[in-house]
Amino acid sequence: MAYDEGLAQLMRDDLAGESGISEKRMFGGLCFLLHGNMVCGVHKNGGMFRTGKEREAEALAIDGARPIDFTGRRMGGIVDVDEDLMADDARRARLMALALAHTRALPQK
């Protein structure tokens, strides 16, 4: 599994006050789940946030966010972010808020 442990720690810190968070290795990186539903994750060159399709356009408007296409096919409702965005607390917080809003609305697994 190739992911940046420093980026993973940023995500852990961002989610520290949220109950029901767990970690799981997936997508070639490390994902963070809320009650079993993916919120966000880190990979070798940055991270990803599951904002849901209804918040995807707002997420993509944030500098450094782009559609995710790990498999060569776009995955709706998830945005990929570069390391520069991950290092920016304000932009990362905006995406985390969108991702948490989406994930809190999902049924627990």
> For the domain that residue 43 is a member of, what is the CATH number?
3.90.1150.30
Where is average pLDDT lowest: 6-10, 27-31, 36-40, 72-76? 72-76
The CA dihedral of 51, 20, 35, 76, to the nearest 10 degrees, is: 10
Please give the tally of structural domains in the chain.
1
Q: What is the mean pLDDT of residues 76-105?
A: 96
CB-based contact 102:78 (threshold 8 Å): no
Residues 26-49 pLDDT 10s: 878 999 999 999 999 999 889 999
> How much is the mean pLDDT over the chain?
94
Q: List the domain range (segments joined by +) for residue 83.
A: 5-104
Domain presence at residue 39: yes
Give the pTM.
0.93
User: Among residues of the chain, what percentage have pLDDT more than 70?
Assistant: 99
Asked if residue 109 belongs to a domain, the reply is no
